[in-house]
Amino acid sequence: MATELRGQLAAGAATTVRGLVRAFGERTVLDGIDLTIRPGEFVALLGRSGSGKSTLLRILAGLDNGAGGKVDVPSRNAVVFQDARLLPWSRVLDNVVLGLGRSERGRGERALEEVGLAKHARAWPSTLSGGEAQRAALARALVREPELLLLDEPFGALDALTRLRMHALLRELVARHRPSVLLVTHDVDEAIVLADRVLVLTDGRISLDARVDVPHPRRRHDGEFASLRARLLAELGVQDDSDASVNDALASDGVSEALASDGSDSEPDTDSPEPNTDSSGPNTDSSETDTHGPETDTSTSENDTDSEKQT
Amino acid sequence: MTTITTPRGTATEESVAGPSPARTRPRIRGRTVPRGVRRLLGPLLFLAAWQIASSTGLLDAQTLAGPSVVAKTGWHLVQDGTLGHHLWVSLRRALAGLVLGVLAGLVIALVSGLFRLGEDVLDGTMQILRSIPILALTPLAILWFGIGEEVKIILVALGCAFPVYINTHAAIRGVDPRFAELARTLRIGRIGLVRRVVLPGALPGFFVGLRFSVTIAWLVLVVSEQINADSGIGFLMTQAREFSQTDVIVVGLAVYAVLGLVSNGLVSVVERRALRWRPSFEGN
Ligand SMILES: Nc1ncnc2c1ncn2[C@@H]1O[C@H](COP(=O)(O)OP(=O)(O)O)[C@@H](O)[C@H]1O
Ligand SMILES: [Mg+2]
């Protein structure tokens, strides 16, 4: 119904969403979303599992034509999904330059270099670790020089240590390429560490829209970080009972510490506010309101074999 | 009754947990026998028994010629060019039928897999036709095409088309829709989607079909050459039957076995190359 309303913007323009509505059958998932993402702005979108975060991102990516309202998106946009979605039958470099002209292979190689995968250009995707595959997916998005980068829980399936490395890498890449970013995540800390602005999606609407004024490097034990964190968790209906723990340094910008401890057997634990239960339906939210014990992060336990050798 | 006494429990556990080296590696006079040699042992013993049975008259030549006689006959047939001639004829028929059938199956699978209309029109038809045993079409095929080369090639082609169709079509339908979604975000278009996603994704299924087709090609050829032919390995064997030349029949069987092995091996080689992205094919 709204395909004709989906505009493609000229270069340098903002991404705007006005009165966006999306229903699946009886269930209205998005119920009047208004959103503007300025050029170069990094916006994180938080919300419980099933709240419609992916639905919103898919509409912006042009993957869902069943929505009502007005959506204006830069024509050059790129998506990174939670699964790296590399074509298994194409080598890594061919995946990165998929759909680009033959003359663009050099740019693909440079993009792989940027994400530290230059040596894997001719490798098959099945030989990459989870983190490496996700870096290749990032390279595939960045090589298109997107004005809007759409990230749907891109680190959700990675182990905690790899995730921290990816945060550092993403910050570096975004600083260099300056796209607008919409990062969908269920990880409050990830949102605060990375974003300029954090949104919370509740019952189909943006229920909270907060600037992140915490100075870099952002550490979880900083007062501003902690208070914003508490606010966001409260908005998500989760009780914040995390006292400053030993892992605080890891959970914030203490990536250098994390790198230094590479190879040790200890499993650092980023206190993710919710276990990663994305497959659960909207009615199982109670499991997410559970507070985060050190071992409840399912994404960590699922992928603990996925360690990385280089950055 | 709940207590189970295992007086020798420890001993049993030990023998299970730690098998003796002698059991994992059979030794003959202290040397380890390579696995390939061990696998040859069975056929060699069988040949020896067969030869002994023939030499002692236990097995008369009318029933089955002995291995040495078969080898001698085979050598003669090679030398006077008979075997070469018939082999070439059979090979040509099998190859022509296989190529035609595989191409037809592939084209129909693509049309039906890529276009909704194609699927509606073709898939039901193919699913009905596949339930007919191909060899049951022989009488009709002879009426239509006579007893020349065409009949044999067409029967082989028909037999080969279905496995390729069924497996390729299923594989096209089975390509992960998440990749189609990715293709949309990368804006590679419909042709790009087919070329970069659908076809490579369906290739493993095509090879499954091709393997079946190769086996079926020989099967159909054997039968149709025995029914009506004046050349080919099947004809050679039928002719031998009339003169009770069991040695020639066994030579024909051996040739079929070699042809089957070689053709399957060729498909494996091509498949390994084409699907080397698959983790299971690594290191090859
Ligand atoms: N294609 C679809 N058909 C029907 N329901 C859907 C579809 N896509 C998403 N939904 C529903 O919309 C809701 C929001 O889904 P989603 O946007 O994936 O949530 P999130 O990404 O926030 O976890 C869920 O209840 C989901 O079941
Ligand atoms: Mg989601």
What CATH code is carried by the domain that includes residue A256? Answer: 3.40.50.300
pLDDT, residue A262, reads: 40
pLDDT, residue B34, reads: 83
pLDDT of A74 strictly over 90: yes
pLDDT, residue B148, reads: 84
The protein residue with its alpha carbon nearest to ligand 1, atom 5, reads: A24
**Cα A260 versus chain centre, distance:** 25
Tell whether A78 is within 8 A of chain B (Cβ). yes
Query: What is the B150 CA–ligand 1 centroid distance (Å)?
Result: 57
pLDDT, residue A5, reads: 52
The answer to whether the beta carbons of residues A111 and A127 sit under 8 Å apart is no
C-alpha dist (Å) from residue A158 to A135, A259, B91, B204: 11, 16, 54, 29
pLDDT of A1 strictly over 80: no
Please tell me which residue of chain B has the smallest CA distance to A126.
B279
Please say whether the dihedral angle defined by the alpha carbons of residues B121, B123, B128 and B133, taken in this order, is positive or negative: positive
pLDDT, residue B145, reads: 87
Q: Select the more confidently predicted residue: A308 or A65.
A: A65
Considering the domain boundaries, does residue A284 fall inside one?
no
pLDDT, residue A201, reads: 95
pLDDT, residue A18, reads: 94
Q: How far, in Å, CA of B92 to CA of A208, rounded? A: 74
pLDDT, residue B52, reads: 94
- How buried is residue A311: exposed, middle or buried, by Cβ count under 10 Å (0-12/13-18/19+)? middle
Of the pLDDT bands very low, low, confident and very high (cuts 50, 70, 90), residue A232 is: confident
What is the C-alpha R_g of chain A? 19
Low-confidence ranges of chain B (pLDDT < 50): 1-22, 281-284
pLDDT, residue B56, reads: 93
Q: Which domain holds residue A258?
A: 3-271+289-299
Distance of residue B176 Cα from the nearest chain A Cα, in angstroms: 10
Instruction: Report the number of secondary-structure helices (H) and strands (E) in chain A.
Output: 11, 10
pLDDT, residue A55, reads: 96
Q: Which of A54, A185, A285 to mutate to test the pocket of ligand 1 (most atoms within 8 A of CB)?
A: A54
Query: What is the A212 CA–ligand 1 centroid distance (Å)?
Result: 28
The answer to whether the beta carbons of residues A257 and A267 sit under 8 Å apart is no
pLDDT of A280 strictly over 90: no
The protein residue with its alpha carbon nearest to ligand 1, atom 7, reads: A24
pLDDT, residue A27, reads: 93
Of the pLDDT bands very low, low, confident and very high (cuts 50, 70, 90), residue A28 is: very high
pLDDT, residue B154, reads: 94
Of the partner residues B179, B187, B282, the one whose CB lies closest to the CB of residue A99? B187
Q: Select the more confidently predicted residue: B82 or A305.
A: B82
Identify the bridge partners of residue A211 per DSSP, sorted by sequence position: A197
Tokens at A169, concatenated: 């890498």
Decide whether any atom of ligand 1 lies within 6 Å of the A51 Cβ.
yes
Query: What is the A283 CA–ligand 1 centroid distance (Å)?
Result: 12
Q: How far, in Å, CA of B109 to CA of B130, rounded? A: 13
Considering the domain boundaries, does residue A247 fall inside one?
yes
Of the pLDDT bands very low, low, confident and very high (cuts 50, 70, 90), residue A294 is: very low
Q: How far, in Å, CA of A305 to CA of B231, rounded? A: 62
pLDDT of A254 strictly over 60: no
pLDDT of A78 strictly over 90: yes
pLDDT per position as a tens digit, B124-167: 999 999 899 988 998 898 899 888 888 999 999 999 999 999 99
pLDDT, residue B37, reads: 85
Cβ-defined contact of A62 to B185 (cutoff 8 Å): yes
Q: How far, in Å, CA of A50 to CA of A26, rounded? A: 15
**Tokens 């939210």 map to which residue?**
A285
Q: How far, in Å, CA of B109 to CA of A129, rounded? A: 35
Q: Select the more confidently predicted residue: A221 or A72.
A: A72
Query: Can the peptide bond before residue A217 be classed as cis, meaning omega within 30 degrees of 0?
Result: yes
The protein residue with its alpha carbon nearest to ligand 1, atom 4, reads: A24
Question: Could you say which DSSP state residue A14 is in?
Answer: P
pLDDT, residue A251, reads: 44
Decide whether any atom of ligand 1 lies within 6 Å of the A204 Cβ.
no
Considering the domain boundaries, does residue A282 fall inside one?
no
Best CA proximity match to B181, nearest among A185, A309, A54: A54
Please write down the long-range contacts of A172-175, taking CB distance under 8 Å and 24 or more positions apart. A173/A114, A173/A115, A173/A138, A173/A142, A174/A42, A174/A149
pLDDT, residue A90, reads: 96
Q: What is the mean pLDDT of residues A198-207?
A: 94
pLDDT of A240 strictly over 70: no
pLDDT, residue A217, reads: 79
Question: Domain total for chain A?
Answer: 1
Q: How far, in Å, CA of B234 to CA of B224, rounded? A: 8
SS3 A182: strand
Of the partner residues A78, A87, A127, the one whose CB lies closest to the CB of residue B196? A87
Would you identify the CATH topology of the domain B87-232? MetI-like fold (1.10.3720)
Tokens at B66, concatenated: 């002995």
Query: pTM value?
Result: 0.76
Considering the domain boundaries, does residue A245 fall inside one?
yes
Of the pLDDT bands very low, low, confident and very high (cuts 50, 70, 90), residue A276 is: very low
The segment with the largest mean pLDDT, out of A6-15, A240-249, B204-213, is B204-213
pLDDT, residue B27, reads: 57
* Percentage of the residues of chain A whose pLDDT score is greater than 70: 73
Q: What is the mean pLDDT of residues A231-256?
A: 58
Q: What is the mean pLDDT of residues A77-89?
A: 96
The Cβ of residue A7 has, within 10 Å, a number of other Cβ atoms equal to 13
pLDDT, residue A302, reads: 39
